[in-house]
Chain A
Amino acid sequence: MDIKEKLKSFIDKQKISLKAPVQAAEFVTSDEFEGRTAVTAQFLRSASGLKDHLLTPQAEQAVIDSIESLYFESGNVDVGEHELQKFPDVADVHIINGMRSRLRKQQTIVSRRVSDLIMQKQGLCSKEMERVTELQKEVIKGVSLCVEGRNKLAQGRSQFTSASLGILANYSKRQKIASVIRSLRMIRTLQMTDVQLQSLLKAEDYPGAIQLLLECQKAAATFKHFTCISELSTKLQDTLEGAEEQLDVALARVAANFNSANYEKLQIAYGLLGKTQTLMDQLHMHLTSHIHNSAFTIVLGYVELYNNTSGSGSSFSKLQYSELCKYVNEESFLPCLLDLSKCMWNVLKSYRNIIKWHENEEKVAEEDDSSDGEGNTEAATSRKYAKQKLEHGLYRLWQDVQAKVRTFILASDLSHFKFDDFLRILDVINKLIDVGESFCGSKSETLRESIKKQSINYFRNHHRARMEELHMFLENEGWEACPVKSTFSIHQLMEYRFLKGKDLLSVLTHTLSSLTGNKDVFDLFSRESSPFDITAEETIEEDIMANGEPLTLSDDDSDDDVPDELKRDFVDEQTGELPQPHPRRKLDHGKTSIVTNTTLTILRLIGKYIQMMKLLQPIAFDVMICLSHLFDYYLYSVFMFFGTHFSFLTHQQRGDLEQNPSRRLRGSLKRIQDTLILNPEACQEEPSDQDKVESPSLSPVVDITSSESIYGLPVRVVAVESLAFLAAQLEALHCHIEPLIPQQRRTFLQQFYTGTVKITPEIRQHVYTAVAAQVIDYDGILNCMGSVKWDINDLMSQHSQYVDVLLRQLQVWYSQLILTMRLEEMSRVSPIPSEACTALWECIVRITNRTLLEGFAGARRCTNEGRSLMQLDYQQFLMKLECLTSVRPLPDRHLVETYIKAYYLPEGALEEWLQQNRGNYSSRQLTALVATMTHISKRTRQKIAAIVEESGKKT
Chain B
Amino acid sequence: MSESYDFLFKFLVIGSAGTGKSCLLHQFIEGKFKAESNHTIGVEFGSKIVNVGGKSVKLQIWDTAGQERFRSVTRSYYRGAAGALLVYDLTSRDSYNALGNWLGDARTLASPNIMILCVGNKKDLEEERQVTFMEASRFAQENELMFMEASALTGENVEEAFLKCAKSILAKIETGELDPERIGSGIQYGDATLRRLNRANNQRPKAGTECMGSSCRI
Residue positions of A touching B, CB distance < 8 A: 418, 461, 464-465, 468-469, 472-473, 476-478, 480-484, 492-494, 543, 546, 551, 555-558, 595-597, 600-601, 604, 639-640, 644-647, 666, 669-670, 673, 680-681, 695, 697-701, 828-829
- Smallest beta-carbon distance A335→chain B, Å: 17
Q: Is the CB of A555 within 8 A of B73?
A: no
B3 closest partner in A (C-beta) = A465
- Give the docked Cα–Cα distance between A918 and B27 (Å): 68
Q: Is the CB of B45 within 8 A of A600?
A: no
Q: Is the CB of B206 within 8 A of A697?
A: yes
A670 closest partner in B (C-beta) = B218
A668 closest partner in B (C-beta) = B218
Q: Is the CB of A472 within 8 A of B209?
A: no
Residues 29-56 of chain B: 1 if any A CB is under 8 Å from the residue's CB, otherwise 0?
A: 0101011111101111101000000000
Q: Is the CB of B218 within 8 A of A666?
A: yes
Q: Is the CB of A478 within 8 A of B214?
A: no
Residues 76-88 of chain B: 1 if any A CB is under 8 Å from the residue's CB, otherwise 0?
A: 1101000000000
Query: Assuming A469-B47, A478-B76, A483-B73, is B36 touching A418 (CB within 8 A)?
Result: no
Q: B residues within 8 A CB of A478? A: 73, 75-77
Q: Is the CB of A644 within 8 A of B76?
A: no
Q: Is the CB of A473 within 8 A of B45?
A: yes
Query: Assuming A483-B70, A829-B72, is B47 touching A695 (CB within 8 A)?
Result: no
Q: Is the CB of A557 within 8 A of B39?
A: yes
Partner of B216, one of A555, A604, A645: A645
Q: Is the CB of A558 within 8 A of B41?
A: yes
Q: A residues within 8 A CB of B76? A: 476-478, 480, 699, 701
- Smallest beta-carbon distance B88→chain A, Å: 19
Partner of B70, one of A465, A469, A482, A701: A482
- Smallest beta-carbon distance A30→chain B, Å: 144
Q: Is the CB of B217 within 8 A of A673?
A: yes
- Give the docked Cα–Cα distance between A477 and B73 (Å): 9
Q: Is the CB of B42 within 8 A of A597?
A: yes
A556 closest partner in B (C-beta) = B38
- Give the docked Cα–Cα distance between A647 and B215 (Å): 10
Q: A residues within 8 A CB of B217? A: 673
- Give the docked Cα–Cα distance between A558 and B42 (Å): 11
- Give the docked Cα–Cα distance between A483 and B67 (Å): 10
Partner of A556, one of B30, B39, B60, B206: B39
Tell me whether B104 is interfacial, beta carbon within 8 Å: no
Query: Assuming A543-B34, A551-B36, A701-B76, is B216 touching A680 (CB within 8 A)?
Result: no
Q: Is the CB of A640 within 8 A of B213?
A: yes
Query: Assuming A546-B36, A600-B42, is B79 touching A701 (CB within 8 A)?
Result: yes
Q: Is the CB of B70 within 8 A of A640?
A: no
Q: A residues within 8 A CB of B42? A: 482, 595-597, 600-601
Q: Is the CB of B79 within 8 A of A558?
A: no
Q: Is the CB of B41 within 8 A of A601?
A: no
* Interface CB pairs A-B, < 8 A, 8: A469-B45, A469-B47, A476-B62, A483-B70, A558-B41, A595-B42, A604-B44, A700-B209
Residue positions of B touching A, CB distance < 8 A: 1, 17, 30, 32, 34-39, 41-45, 47, 60, 62, 67, 69-70, 72-73, 75-77, 79, 206, 209-210, 212-218
B31 closest partner in A (C-beta) = A418
Q: Is the CB of B41 within 8 A of A484?
A: yes
Q: Is the CB of A558 within 8 A of B67?
A: yes
Q: A residues within 8 A CB of B43? A: 597
Partner of B41, one of A482, A543, A551, A695: A482
- Give the docked Cα–Cα distance between A699 and B30 (Å): 30
Q: Is the CB of A695 within 8 A of B213?
A: yes
Q: Is the CB of A557 within 8 A of B41?
A: yes
Which 5 pairs from chain A and chain B are nearest by CB? Answer: A478-B76, A644-B216, A597-B42, A558-B39, A482-B42
Q: Is the CB of A483 within 8 A of B38?
A: no
Q: Is the CB of B30 within 8 A of A597?
A: no
Q: Is the CB of A673 within 8 A of B218?
A: yes
B75 closest partner in A (C-beta) = A478
Q: Is the CB of A480 within 8 A of B30?
A: no
Q: A residues within 8 A CB of B44? A: 601, 604
Q: A residues within 8 A CB of B215? A: 647
Q: A residues within 8 A CB of B77? A: 476, 478, 597
Q: B residues within 8 A CB of A644? A: 212, 216
Q: Is the CB of A640 within 8 A of B216?
A: yes
Partner of A600, one of B41, B47, B69: B41
Q: Is the CB of A464 within 8 A of B67?
A: no
Partner of A480, one of B36, B73, B206, B213: B73
A702 closest partner in B (C-beta) = B76
Q: B residues within 8 A CB of A464? A: 1
- Give the docked Cα–Cα distance between A201 and B75 (Å): 81
- Smallest beta-carbon distance A885→chain B, Å: 29
- Give the docked Cα–Cα distance between A876 and B69 (Å): 46
Q: Is the CB of B73 within 8 A of A597?
A: yes
- Give the docked Cα–Cα distance between A543 and B217 (Å): 44
Query: Assuming A476-B77, A557-B39, A697-B209, is B1 touching A483 (CB within 8 A)?
Result: no
- Smallest beta-carbon distance B28→chain A, Å: 13
Q: A residues within 8 A CB of B69? A: 483, 558, 828
Partner of B72, one of A473, A480, A551, A645: A480
- Give the docked Cα–Cα distance between A595 and B1 (Å): 29
- Give the docked Cα–Cα distance between A412 and B95 (Å): 46
A464 closest partner in B (C-beta) = B1
Q: B residues within 8 A CB of A483? A: 69-70, 72-73
Most chain B CB neighbours (cut-off 10 Å) among A465, A476, A484: A476
Q: A residues within 8 A CB of B212? A: 644-645
Q: A residues within 8 A CB of B45? A: 469, 472-473, 601
Beyond the given A478-B73, A543-B34, A646-B216, please list 16 additional residue pairs across the A-B interface where CB-CB is below 8 A: A464-B1, A478-B76, A482-B41, A482-B73, A494-B38, A543-B32, A546-B36, A556-B38, A556-B39, A557-B41, A558-B38, A597-B43, A597-B77, A601-B44, A698-B209, A700-B209
- Give the docked Cα–Cα distance between A673 and B213 (Å): 12
A604 closest partner in B (C-beta) = B44
- Smallest beta-carbon distance B7→chain A, Å: 16
A551 closest partner in B (C-beta) = B36
A481 closest partner in B (C-beta) = B73
Q: Is the CB of B39 within 8 A of A461?
A: no
B80 closest partner in A (C-beta) = A476
- Give the docked Cα–Cα distance between A540 and B105 (Å): 41
- Smallest beta-carbon distance B132→chain A, Å: 30
- Smallest beta-carbon distance B39→chain A, Å: 4
Q: B residues within 8 A CB of A670? A: 218
Q: B residues within 8 A CB of A680? A: 210, 213-214
Q: A residues within 8 A CB of B75? A: 478
- Give the docked Cα–Cα distance between A597 and B65 (Å): 11
Q: B residues within 8 A CB of A666? A: 218
Q: Is the CB of A465 within 8 A of B60?
A: no
- Give the docked Cα–Cα distance between A696 and B43 (Å): 18
Q: B residues within 8 A CB of A543? A: 32, 34-35
- Give the docked Cα–Cα distance between A848 and B218 (Å): 25
Most chain B CB neighbours (cut-off 10 Å) among A482, A601, A639, A680: A482
Q: B residues within 8 A CB of A555? A: 38
Partner of B30, one of A418, A484, A673, A700: A418
- Give the docked Cα–Cα distance between A476 and B75 (Å): 10
- Smallest beta-carbon distance B37→chain A, Å: 8
- Smallest beta-carbon distance A583→chain B, Å: 17
A681 closest partner in B (C-beta) = B214
Q: A residues within 8 A CB of B17? A: 558
Q: Is the CB of B72 within 8 A of A461?
A: no
A542 closest partner in B (C-beta) = B35
Most chain A CB neighbours (cut-off 10 Å) among B17, B32, B34, B216: B216
- Smallest beta-carbon distance B150→chain A, Å: 21
- Give the docked Cα–Cα distance between A670 and B216 (Å): 12
- Smallest beta-carbon distance B5→chain A, Å: 13
B37 closest partner in A (C-beta) = A494
B36 closest partner in A (C-beta) = A551
Query: Assuming A480-B76, A482-B73, is B60 touching A472 (CB within 8 A)?
Result: yes
- Give the docked Cα–Cα distance between A596 and B74 (Å): 11
